[in-house]
Amino acid sequence: LLGRGFDPRAWLPSGRGRLLSAAELARYRGAAGDPGLYLAVLGRVFDVERGRRHYGPGGAYSGLAGRDATRAFATGDFTQAGLVDDVSALSPGEMLAIRSWLSFYRDSYHPVGKLVGRFYDENGAPTEALRQAEAAMEEALKFQAESEQRKQQFPPCNSEWSSAKGSRFWCSRQSGGVNRDWTGVPRKLYRPGSRGSHCVCVRATGPPWGQPASAEHSNRGDLDNPHLEEYEGCHPLSEQCVLKV
């Protein structure tokens, strides 16, 4: 077997599958005479034969086959320049997209093994690039959770604009897609490090966000948050604000 080129590292211990080189993976594009139809995401290789109409020759996602094109799953760039495994400098949202796709392939397709290259070394051990990618996804999850918490605290306003009437911002118990038992009043919210602002609905009664109702408070909700600013010309407790042209 060794004389035929058998590589003892080609199969990983404990049933974890094969180790494939980039050249070997490139043979699995589903064309006539190819041994199969594979793709890789973050160095994990999956058999996508069941999805041949998508990934096989002529399919909408055929460019993903036979390679690790992780970046394209986040960016949607299916040019040769975009069909690469470099995930550096991607946004938190893009890293979460990759995480979601990886979960999809784990649930939907048979795992084959690992691709030796950017994310796994010749022994199948994770590389620093993989550790960085996984850390970036964890940070993206935390960012997403914090964003959702901020949205619950400061739901976006409803808004409309016309050349005749100008801008109108208003709050309701469903504005911003956040169902709640309070309406709130419009305010400009400035994020740290951001130059601009956007309109949010702010609770005007009760304790500040995160404080129990039993705690001593001024009964002004989040109106005193330092990142908020009133709209000039609007009553501070009005549920809507109209800014004339």
Same domain, 67 and 182: no
Residue 59 domain flag: yes
Same domain, 132 and 183: no
Tally the domains of the chain. Answer: 2
Same domain, 130 and 170: no
pTM for the complete prediction?
0.69
Question: How many whole angstroms separate alpha carbon 110 and alpha carbon 120?
Answer: 19
State which H helix or E strand residue 44 sits in: strand 44-47
Q: What's CA 181's distance to the chain center, in Å?
A: 29
Residue 2 domain flag: no
Q: Which of 102, 108, 114, 106 is nearest to 16 (CA)?
A: 114
Judging by beta carbons within 10 Å of its beta carbon (0-12, 13-18, 19+), is residue 113 exposed, middle or buried? buried
CA angle at 116 for the pair 101 and 21, rounded to the nearest 5°: 105
pLDDT at residue 244, as a whole number: 79
Same domain, 74 and 129: yes
Coil, strand, or helix at residue 14? helix
pLDDT at residue 191, as a whole number: 82
End position of a domain, from candidates 101, 126, 149: 149
Structural domain that includes position 101 = 18-149
pLDDT at residue 111, as a whole number: 97
The mean pLDDT values, 10 residues at a time, for the chain of 245 residues are 38 68 98 97 98 97 98 97 96 95 97 98 97 96 91 95 90 95 96 85 94 85 95 94 84
Neighbours of 235 (CB within 10 A): 11
